[in-house]
Structure 1
């Protein structure tokens, strides 16, 4: 049976400038607070026929990381994507908006406005946020259960607001003098545990079908999985190895079916961290150079926060056994990331030195490929054939050249291998998800 091409997105967070990457003479870091830098990336991604470009978001400043180039949140995702909309024609524009901090009416209007400005290419990456509470009049972050309960309510309100002003209500009939049919525009009168919203939304809906706004969810905790299975078109999660991805994809399909949806309703799209070069040796040199100043002290602090295990005085050659792990801490910043780290230690029982180099500690626990374009194609094919994914999001690392290799060389090679579409079959984000 012929397999469908994969759904592939491209990050607009400049991961290729992390570590030492921003210090390279050709990094272009001076352009990060303008739109031309990102428009160039989006145009390359559109030329490659990717489903979407994706802008994550943070709502707090990490001062501990700012001195070496990290901790910079940058531009507002939705405003940046509105600028990119004017410079592109087909590629989806996936913005990130937190359900914990944004009022649902503002959120609904903002994303629907981007949808109109892009002619149907907006998508919503639904996140609950991991921090930033003191910027929004809160002393502590709500519990994960509370955040997802709020996310479910906000998502329901947003969908009702989008439906409250249907496109059919727009008449624009000069002869009769009727601009809108007011009978079709109705309040939602929503009263929930967290919000009361009258409605209707002041921005009309573009319509359903190919003009609906795709919903993407980020996270793979138990509550996150269930939320994705109920509402999302796709979920974006860190999956450092193929076995984790296979398990997550199977679980999402099972949960979607239990919620009365088709098992293929929610697609798994892991993050793919890439360090590409002309040879594998050059790619490994790029990875090492990027992490040359990686701070072991900060890594040890992260391991302690996620597992409760203090390794700061352990010899680098000592193995960490599964029974060395204490009970999981009661409160962690990301339960998903903490779970992945514990699983890696339990399965591999690495030395301290090896653990400090693992992606679960080095970065965000993404699936990682360090090598050539051909090796990356082979790895994507292997994961696809194993049933580990429905697509992925590109996270190039190390240099601007690596980012260009991803979009200008890897993506055409994936098309040649039947793993990525050769051309678009529609003009909207939803159409890309439905017809690869």
Structure 2
């Protein structure tokens, strides 16, 4: 038996990006309705996916509000709490920031949700790249400081989860003992960033630790992920970068004294699916047709910190056109990905401006039929590029429908994904093997 592919579905409706929200079938009016997300989670559970994943933003760019939903989103914990009561098996992964939160609050909220879902919670650890003004802070801390804070933050949360173990709950009516206080202990944490007394006032749901997810692909992010993560989300636009990232994370995990196989690497797969390839290609083109060259150039400048507007569309973009050291960029991960594409391909400016990493995201993009998507997933899997995928449907809800109704069943037929859940918790899903 081999490990099953791990498949998660984003609860951010990526198929509404660009002009997608204007489609008649978008249900954009329901974006702030709990029922909208519940139905997505129930469909994902019916397909036996490992988890649904709620990204989060702690800032809002109002300039985007005229043309798109932007970074508007419901609070992950509140959303997933509503889903927990109406689902039974599917994992629920919440994004919570270590830059703008407190360890005690995060530990308490996640463990509470773990009880409500009976062990189905995961924590996506983010360091945040924007939003300091919403929390009474000045400039964003450096990437180094954010990851140092994240490491200590995670350590404190884990200590708090361990401070009131499930085994301490005796609930002995005859003796009158509810919990064994000898097993509950303060953590007395005093570090560089946090002083936390403890113990947590919510006992652990069981003896299994809540799975940790992380998405940083920079050197600092990789080191952090390889040290703490059970699964790593990845923005890998091509097979080569995915193979390199997975190998590097395994190597770093081994150096930290961990079993490298403990980390499941899950690239984001941004897919535009149609019954035919022509239909899928049209869906992709329609999704970004509204973007002008000026807007695309502005996107390049945001990502790389360089203005290319003085060049003609037929000019070749090479390493000399971009700085060797990129400072003050919004996302180091995204900048590194686009820089690598320029160095490897030396595209014309026109070609660069049509790249998904510029007009869409830095994720792996698949445009085609469900069979094409399955072929690509298998190709990446056989090359050691992934342990699963995060499903990011694009263009319209059709892409989501075809993924759940055709792509997943095809993966089941090929023995790469489960027919039924064999476990009840997220931890069990992550380590499940496919029965041949």
> Which TM class, normalised by the smaller chain length?
over 0.9
* Match in the other structure for 2:220: 223
2:324 is the alignment partner of 1:334: no
TM-superposed CA distance for 1:325, in Å, is 2.2
Name which of 405, 410, 413 aligns with 1:408: 405
Q: What's the secondary structure of 1:269's corresponding residue?
A: strand
Counterpart CA distance in 1 for 2:59 and 2:125 is: 17
CA distance in 2, matches of 1:77, 1:163: 24
Q: 1:133 maps to what in 2?
A: 132
Gaps of 5+ in 2: none
Give the secondary-structure state (helix, strand or coil) at the position aligned to 1:389: coil
For 2:269, the equivalent position in structure 1 comes to 272
> Which range is displaced more, 51-60 or 330-339?
330-339
Residues 245-394 of structure 1: pairs in structure 2 closer than 5 A:
245-394=242-391
SS at match of 2:415: coil
Contact 2:81 2:113 in 1 (8 A): yes
Q: What is the alpha-carbon distance in structure 1 between the residues aligned to residue 220 and residue 25 of structure 2?
A: 42
CA distance in 2, matches of 1:242, 1:72: 29
> What residue number does 1:80 align with?
79
Partner in structure 1 of residue 41 of structure 2: 42
C-alpha distance in 2 between matches for 1:214 and 1:76? 20
> Any conservation in 2 of the 1:305–1:329 contact (CA below 8 Å)?
no
Unpaired segments of 5 or more residues in structure 1?
A: none
Q: Structure 1 residues 253-262 or 63-72, which shifts more?
A: 63-72
CA distance in 2 between partners of 1:187 and 1:199 (Å): 4
Which segments of structure 1 move beyond 4 Å, counting only runs of 4 or more?
none
What's the CA shift string for 1:141-160, capped at 9, x where partnerless? Answer: 11000000000000000000
The answer for the alignment partner of 1:172 in structure 2 is 171
Cα distance in 2 for partners of 1:45, 1:139 equals 40
What whole-Å deviation, never above 9, does each CA across 1:300-347 have from its counterpart, x for those lacking one?
Answer: 223223334311132212211222223333211111100001000000
- Aligned residues between the structures: 433
After superposing the two structures, state which structure 1 stretch, 267-276 or 357-366, moved more.
357-366
Report deviation, 1:34.
1.1
CA contact (8 A) 1:307 1:328 kept: no
CA RMSD of aligned residues (A): 1.2
> TM-score, normalized by length of structure 1?
0.97
Shift of 1:3: 4.1
**Structure 1 residue 207: deviation in Å?**
2.1
Superposed counterparts of 1:48-87, under 5 Å: 48-87=47-86
Once the two structures are overlaid, the 10-residue window that deviates more, 181-190 or 69-78, is: 69-78
Equivalents in 2 of 1:260, 1:120: separation in Å?
27
On the 8 A contact 2:166/2:207 being kept in 1, the answer is no
Give, in whole Å, the separation in 2 of the partners of 1:200 and 1:164.
5
Please state whether the residue corresponding to 2:260 is helix, strand or coil: coil
| Aligned equivalents of 2:394, 2:53: Cα separation in 1 | 16
> Which range moved further: 309-318 or 378-387?
309-318
- Counterparts of 2:55 and 2:165 in 1: how far apart (Å)? 29
For 1:309 and 1:79, locate their aligned partners in 2 and report how far apart those are by CA, in whole Å: 39
